[in-house]
Amino acid sequence: MSLAGLKCLVTGAGGFLGRTIVCQLLEEGEKLAEVRALDKAFSAETLQHFGDLKSSTLLTIMKGDIRDAAFLREAVQGITIVIHSACVIDTLGLVDKQVLWDINVGGTQQLLEISLLHDVKCFIYTSSLEVTGPNHKGDPMYNGDEYSIYHVTAGFTYAETKREAEKSVLELDGLPLKDGSSFVTCALRSMYIFGEGSPFLLKHVDEGILNHKVFLRISRKEALVNPVYVGNIAWAHIQAAKAMRNPAKVRQIRGQFYYISDDSPHLSYADFNHELGKELGFGVEPKLAMPLTMLYCYALLLEIVSFLLWPFVRYVPVINRQLLTLLNTPFTFSYKKAQRDFGYTPRYSWEEAKQRTGRWIAEVIPSRIAYLKSKEV
């Protein structure tokens, strides 16, 4: 089933994943009637990239806040499919908790309500692996799936907001629409996303440059994870959208969540960074800066200092115990259910994803060196 002739709204379209989803929709062989790209801001580079595609599909740029109901009502007019990837990601506590809840949960719930009022047929939510964990005990998961039993505990505020937003999306599946059909929803739980333009990977590249082209050891070797290439998680959204329009597949996908990974190797976060950059001369530190137990004590000390300083100054530690658990817990998941239910297969092989990411790293190194030097002045 194709998306030909349909109108699709993509939220978070100015971000790392959202802009890739928009590009893939514009590149569809059977053109859509319109793709609406919604975000609070778009970089000049993103807008230039959209323009370079020269697609025959109408692209409408919509700049506005997902908390603005009037703006959302305008955005969903005539839309058939909403792909909701907009959110605020925060693992350090840099963003006020209420802001996280207002955008990640309140914004999602408001978009759902308005979508239902305007007869939107399908709603795909970009969820996160962190909805599942890891939990505060660091219980490992190896090649888990949607049926794996895992003890979920409270974690980052970000993870809590993604869990609540996903619940809101899936609970509304099946609600009646004005034309007699029913609302179809699903959620895609993404692994850590890498690829060209990744702000997290760029941060690690900067740290590596400052460390004489050696990536910092942020995770122990045994803490295996399986990141997903941005082009593949974007492609999963496109394939899910097509399945929602297919009467033979929609019964399987509706109201479901799916883990989306690809065939990237299972490595620790630090070793994965090294795998992406080793051909460019990057190394990786052989071990953690100190034993993991001592790192947890150090993180606890920083959290105590942050708490004591709170009445006078806002100090956000660069590391905390929850982040240490996230980085040092084996946590891998299979994409087999998505493959079975809606035909998800990675669009890019591991080798191609690695090459594309490596080329991007090589391209940005000179500008990052210049930027880092300018900060020293």
Catalytic residue among 158, 229, 269, 344: 158
> By C-alpha distance, which of 356, 340, 129 is closest to 239?
340
In angstroms, rounded to a whole number, what is the distance separating the alpha carbons of residues 240 and 9?
Answer: 14
The pair of structure tokens assigned to 151 is 């003890």
Kindly list the distances between the CA atom of residue 321 and the CA atoms of 92, 117, 269, 303, 348, in Å, as whole numbers in the listed order.
10, 43, 16, 9, 35
> By C-alpha distance, which of 102, 101, 97, 125 is closest to 112?
125
Q: What is the dihedral of CA 234, 44, 205, 89, to 10 degrees?
A: -60
Place of tokens 């997290």: 200
Instruction: Write down how long the chain is.
Output: 377
If you count DSSP H runs as helices and E runs as strands, how many of each does the chain have, helices first?
14, 13
Place of tokens 């409408």: 60
The answer to whether residue 258 is catalytic is: no
The pair of structure tokens assigned to 162 is 């993604």
Contact 337, 344 (CB under 8 A): no
In angstroms, rounded to a whole number, what is the distance separating the alpha carbons of residues 335 and 324?
Answer: 26
The pair of structure tokens assigned to 236 is 């999963």
In angstroms, rounded to a whole number, what is the distance separating the alpha carbons of residues 160 and 205?
Answer: 29
Kindly list the distances between the CA atom of residue 39 and the CA atoms of 75, 84, 88, 113, in Å, as whole numbers in the listed order.
11, 11, 12, 19
Q: What is the dihedral of CA 236, 239, 240, 241, to 10 degrees?
A: 120
Give catalytic residues, as residue numbers: 158
